[in-house]
Amino acid sequence: MKPDGKVVLLGDMNVGKTSLLHRYMERRFEDTTSTVGGAFYLKQWGPYNISIWDTAGREQFHGLGSMYCRGAAAVILTYDVNNLQSLIELEDRFLALTDTASTDCIFAIVGNKVDLTNEYALLQETEDENRPEKPVTSCISTKVQKQVYLDDAVALYKKILKYKMLDEKDVPAAEKMCFETSAKTGYKVDYLFETIFDMVVPIILRQQAEGPLQTVDITNYKSAKRTKSGCCA
């Protein structure tokens, strides 16, 4: 089965890429083990099958990153809001891996683990009451001051546009493409993936109009039905 489009999660080890994808696809937060290589889930979105690739953040697997990004319609650059270095790494180490992505690839920047910050209670209050998956109130009292703010992510988004030589008016606004999430509570996880899938559809249509997608290596295919997390060999 050949996916119609491809979304790739990139970012440093331990930022929560596997947990985000697991939360979205399996509706759960579980203990993970550090990813080895990469794995993908298939998500049906309307008439399209979108593959969502989880990659390994560990340095030793870095060489694989550009292979996973080949032909990608969207790249989700993930950092941990409590770890400034994880944002810096996105620019220093991961951005270059996206050179193999589709020319009209969209970029999202995602700060995960907001549940650990002292801002989280406030964020929850502003959440829509009718959301199907309301975040559970955490009882952890060891909240910390965030290390990375949305403005920092917006600044990175603008640097990406520069790097890609894209004009701000030709791409989605930075404010729309910078997200803060919690894989642990589910905060904004559906919103993140579904915003991106909607944006990927026109890219799929364009890719299909222009000819077949590059072949996707399915040796690491992970069925969406399987529940074991961290199983990426």
Q: Which residues form the interface with Mg ion (CB under 5 A)?
A: 17-18, 35
The least CB distance from residue 2 to ligand GTP, in Å, is: 26
- Residue 147's binding partner, choosing from Mg ion, ligand GTP, none, with beta-carbon cut-off 5 to 8 A by kind? none
CB-CB contact of 54 with 34 (8 Å) = no
Choosing from 6, 8, 10, 17, the residue that interacts with ligand GTP (CB under 6 A) is 17
Please tell me whether residue 188 binds ligand GTP under the rule CB under 6 A: no
| Closest to ligand GTP by CB, 51 or 112 | 112
Choosing from 184, 188, 196, 200, the residue that interacts with ligand GTP (CB under 6 A) is 184
The least CB distance from residue 169 to Mg ion, in Å, is: 35
The least CB distance from residue 29 to Mg ion, in Å, is: 13
Interface ranges with ligand GTP (CB under 6 A) = 11, 13-19, 32, 34-35, 56-58, 112-113, 115-116, 182-184
